[in-house]
Amino acid sequence: MVDLGSQYLRIKDEIDKAVQDTLSSTQYIQGPQVKTFQAALETYLGVRHVIPCANGTDALQIAFMALGLQPGDEVIVPSFTYVATAEVIALLHLKPVMVDVDPDTFNITADIIEKAITPRTKAIVPVHLYGQSADMEDIMALAEQHNLFVVEDNAQAIGADYTFKNGVVKKTGTIGHIGCTSFFPSKNLGCMGDGGAMMTNDDALAAKLRMIANHGQQKKYYHDVTGVNSRLDSLQAAILNIKLRHLDEYSAARQSAAAFYDEAFQNIQELQTPARQHNSTHVFHQYTLRVKNSRRDDLQAYLSEKGIPSMIYYPVPLYKQKAFEKYVPAGFTLPVTEQLCREVISLPIHTEMDGELLGFISESVCSFFE
Ligand SMILES: *Cc1c(COP(=O)(O)O)cnc(C)c1O
């Protein structure tokens, strides 16, 4: 699905030197690499504050800890997403309220969210699934109207641009009150271990996030709130400092692979290629097709026989997961999520694909439908 080996080889000299320098420095925790990366990412994203942490799940958890919500407060989340989004909400004794998604963009919309708002709703988590922004302008307007926090799960869309109606362009993850991202190796900006970060333009929230991520202390050994220990280590920061410089070129490589696939599949009636939203760029964390006529699993088996990997993100709606049983009434169902779980398939997409590889994969997909 990804080719991290070839990607590493292309920047091996730079990475090896950064790692070696960090090893020699012995500042493995909170070394200068972390501050350098923080500043570079703030500049890249055009956001006042980046707060690095240990992984994307922690970023979401710390974000929710900082909002000062009460047990039982409701948080609206898409049911078609990675588990982490809802997991941290449950962990903090908040109530995940799962909603359906748009069948074309796979993201939640203001219309869908509005129907789920109750007097207990306190926050919304738009997930920019597969690399394309949810419709943030409408979501922010709705949130303001109902006095709700917006926490963006930007783990799959770092680098994507969202354009407002007045022409202003912002990076995903910098539009809501807090944005969260992951530097898991296979993410669009991946390190070589675990890593994550929170983003915000709010100075007070930034101070709170930083404090919670650091044992609830602002001054060493003086703990104002119950926090956690969540740090991006210096080695990962050193690696990310290099990879961030390549992020736009990585996004462009993913976009051209996606364009290749789109063209190859345009005449296959049984496939729906990924929709592009007019106000967001798509950085293609995943290239995800919908397969009609219940043929998805057969296509996956066919590709597998040819040695082509594919993945189902995600096979089970969150509300059908045992872990979330208690948050949904018996028989609860969301039709689009159900259908997507049956129809989606993600093809290999990464920064190292050449015409030969793309040709082989797309010809194989096409031959299944002949
Ligand atoms: C990867 C991912 C996360 C979690 O990130 P980790 O660094 O693995 O903890 C959260 N949300 C979404 C949508 C993701 O894809």
Q: Ligand 1 in contact with 247 (CB < 6 A)?
A: no
Separation of CA 34 and ligand 1 centre (Å): 20
Q: Is 85 in the pocket of ligand 1 (CB under 6 A)?
A: yes
Number of Cβ within 10 Å of residue 356's Cβ equals 8
Is 369 close to ligand 1, i.e. is its CB under 6 Å away?
A: no
Instruction: Please state the atom number of ligand 1 nearest to the C-alpha of residue 59.
Output: 9
Alpha carbon of 355 to ligand 1 centroid (Å): 30
Residue 65: per-residue pLDDT: 98
CATH topology classification for 4-244 = Aspartate Aminotransferase; domain 2 (3.40.640)
Q: Output the CA torsion sign for 197, 111, 74, 335.
A: negative
pLDDT of residue 23: 97
| CB proximity list for 104: less than 8 A, separation 6 or greater | 272, 275
Q: How far apart are CA 268 and CA 260, in angstroms?
A: 14
CA 262 – ligand 1 centroid, Å: 26
Q: What's the confidence (pLDDT) of residue 9?
A: 96
Query: Does 135 sit in the ligand 1 pocket, CB within 6 Å?
Result: no
- 60 CA → ligand 1 middle, Å: 9
Q: What is the pTM of this model?
A: 0.97
Domain positions in the chain are: 4-244, 248-368
- Closest-lying ligand 1 atom to the alpha carbon of residue 85: 11
- CB within 8 Å of 147: residues ≥ 6 apart: none
CATH fold of 248-368: Aspartate Aminotransferase, domain 1 (3.90.1150)
* CB 62 within 8 Å of CB 211: no
Q: Measured from the CB, is residue 156 less than 6 Å from ligand 1? A: yes
Distance between CA atoms of residues 207 and 218, nearest Å: 8
* C-beta of 368 in contact with ligand 1 (< 6 A): no
Q: Is residue 107 within 6 Å of ligand 1 at its C-beta?
A: no
Task: Check if 131 has its Cβ closer than 6 Å to any atom of ligand 1.
Answer: no
Q: Is the CB of 81 under 6 A from ligand 1?
A: yes
327 neighbors 235 (Cβ within 8 angstroms): no
Distance CA 321, CA 324 (A): 6
Q: Tens digit of pLDDT per residue, the chain (370 long)? A: 899 999 999 999 999 999 999 999 999 999 999 999 999 999 999 999 999 999 999 999 999 999 999 999 999 999 999 999 999 999 999 999 999 999 999 999 999 999 999 999 999 999 999 999 999 999 999 999 999 999 999 999 999 999 999 999 999 999 999 999 999 999 999 999 999 999 999 999 999 999 999 999 999 999 999 999 999 999 999 999 999 999 999 999 999 999 999 999 999 999 999 999 999 999 999 999 999 999 999 999 999 999 999 999 999 999 999 999 999 999 999 999 999 999 999 999 999 999 999 999 999 999 999 9
Which pLDDT belongs to residue 195? Answer: 98
